[in-house]
Each structure stands twice: as C-alpha cells, then as structure tokens.
Structure 1
C-alpha cells in the first residue's frame, strides 16, 4: 500500500466498499481510502477511486449472474407469451447499469476526497 501502487490501493478501497456496503454511500468511503493511500495528484486519486468502484462491483455482478439463471424460466410463470419477462430483463439490465455508474462515480468522488484529506490536512 502506498504511493504509486494503484492496483493494491484500489483493491483495498474496494474491500472497504464491500465490507461497508450496509452503510449508504459506502463507495465514497472506499474511494476515499484508496485516494488517501494513493498520495499523488488529484487526477490519479480520481482514477484509483473509480478503479476501486469498478472492482467493488464484481461481487454484485456475480450475484446478479447467479440470479440470472432464473430469468429464462420466467415465461413459464406467466400466462402471456413472455413479453413481461422480456420487459423484466430490460429493467434488470437498466438497474445493473445504474448501480455500476453509482458505485464507480461515488468511488471516484471518494478518491478525490481522500486525496484532499491526505494532501490538505495534517491527519
């Protein structure tokens, strides 16, 4: 951990994000840890924060993939030709995209805040 070890700092931030996922805006906390550990300039802190958010979405995507095994069987539960199931798939894809943008964006903001905390304060 430390200055210049971008991937390790991003993984540490992602672990913090996943472990603190019960807290609202936990990606900000994970990104802040990654940005604080990076100790370079603000653009690098933004990048390591965003990378931390991208890594933190992997467990979420794995859970969605496991639950996605149910989607082909949804038309059997409805009387119609499966149009509702198709609409449900579109909704799930949209929800996944929104959650990934939420996590990566807030982690990037957290990366900047962590860099600011490290560079502008005496903590």
Structure 2
C-alpha cells in the first residue's frame, strides 16, 4: 500500500511532466523528480515514477473518452457503425501507446532519480 509521501511524490512528478510537456521525453523529467523525492531503492524509484506516469495519463483518458463519444454521435447521425468502430479502435490503440510511453518513461525517470540521489549522497560523504 502506498503512503502519503508516495502519492504526493507521484502527483508532483505528474505535474512536472505536464509543465515540461513541450520538452521531448518530459515523462523522464517528471519521473526523475518523483524518484529523487521518494528516495529508497531503485525499484521504489521506478515504482513511484510509474505512478507519476499513470497520474499524468489521466487527462489523456478524459480526452479519449470525449473523442470516443464524439465519434459515436457522429457515426450514429451518419449511419456509419463500421467505420466508427474502426475509428474508436484506432483511438484506443493510440491511447494505449501514449499511456505506455508515459508510464515507461516515467518509471525510467524514477529509477534515474534514485541513481542521482545515490550519487549525491556518495559525493557528500567523500
């Protein structure tokens, strides 16, 4: 079960991902922040980074739902059930790819955030 620190760090990482969304691979930056703030071992960093990616994907889920409903309404009005199903399936595949991108890169960033924290600790003791 996640504690309040994990949840807060995941939300902070998701916000960093959103704010830096104009930067390529911005989920890595959000994951780095969440992993660095979380501390612990590398698996913990990857886990909180993945959580940050899931939280960052929430607006994408809302957009997907809106587009699926819009496709359904238009297809119903035009009697295009077959093409509508293909369009919604294409949207769903795109949604899954985008969520996979966000979660995987955020988990990588969380792992890197722990590595950065470990190096900082090693440098401060040397």
Judge same fold: TM > 0.5, yes or no.
yes
8 A contact 2:68–2:88 mirrored in 1: no
- CA shift for structure 1 position 13: 0.3
Partner of 2:52: 52
Question: Would you say 1:106 and 2:105 are equivalent positions?
Answer: yes
Alpha-carbon shift at residue 75 of structure 1 (Å): 2.2
Matched residue, 1:96: 95
1:1-123 matches, within 5 Å, as 5-75=5-75, 81-121=80-120, 122=123
Task: Indicate the RMSD between aligned Cα atoms, in angstroms.
Answer: 1.9
User: Gaps (5+ residues) in structure 2?
Assistant: none
Quote how far apart the aligned CAs of 1:109 are.
0.1
Contact 1:42 1:112 in 2 (8 A): yes
Residue segments in structure 1 that go unaligned for 5+ positions in a row: none
TM-score of the aligned structures, taking structure 1 as reference length = 0.87
How big is the shift at 1:77? 6.9
Q: Distance in 1 between matches of 2:85 and 2:66?
A: 18
Check the 8 A contact 1:74/1:82 in 2, yes or no.
no
Count how many residue pairs are aligned between Structure 1 and Structure 2. 119
Conservation of the 8 A alpha-carbon contact between 1:33 and 1:111: yes
